[in-house]
Amino acid sequence: MKQKSRTPEFSRPLQTDRVPKLGSTEKLVAEPEECRALAKRMNIPAIHSLKAEIRATPWRGGGLKLEGHLTADIEQVSVISLESFRETVSVPVSRYFLPPGAVVENDNEDGADPIENGWIDLGEVTAETLALDLDPYPRKPGEAFDEHIEDEPAPVERQSPFAVLAKRKPD
């Protein structure tokens, strides 16, 4: 069953046939409302800023290679203290795209995504890269689980099953 396509919260389309032979560098900055929508999608309290610099170069006859990095100022909730904390993350971006006819479903050894209608959405690539890099169990810097050693229960004296028989023994 095919899912309904949704409008990305942070969309920066790039027309693939307009990328020069030597490539181009694209700089992306998310607007405050885009950051709020992305934070909601990623289920984190806030994304205060999101920036990316991505180099697009032609790759494999009609495809594109994207390389660069993103920087985000995000707020997360610690799984230990349940307190919010801010951190800056810097994540490398590396993705490959091929024209639809060149990408074969379930047989994609290069890990390339299809180019859809001659466009690649650099904003969505950035958002996906950030989402995949988020720690599923975030902790404030310096926090750690305390080692908790359960008190061992006092040893229970066990009687031998033959102790009952020993009591019945004739004198």
Q: Is pLDDT of 161 > 90?
A: no
Query: 27 or 143, which is more confident?
Result: 27
What is the reported pLDDT for 75? 97
* 158 half-sphere exposure, CB direction, 13 A CA radius: 3
What is the reported pLDDT for 129? 97
Contact 54, 68 (CB under 8 A): yes
- Chain length of the chain: 171
In the chain, domain spans:
13-141
Mean pLDDT across 40-67 = 95
Of the listed ranges 59-63, 68-72, 79-83, 146-150, the one predicted with least confidence: 146-150
Distance CA 117, CA 99 (A): 9
For residue 137, give the DSSP letter. S
What is the reported pLDDT for 167? 72
What is the reported pLDDT for 102? 73
β-pairing, 119-121 vs 13-15, is antiparallel
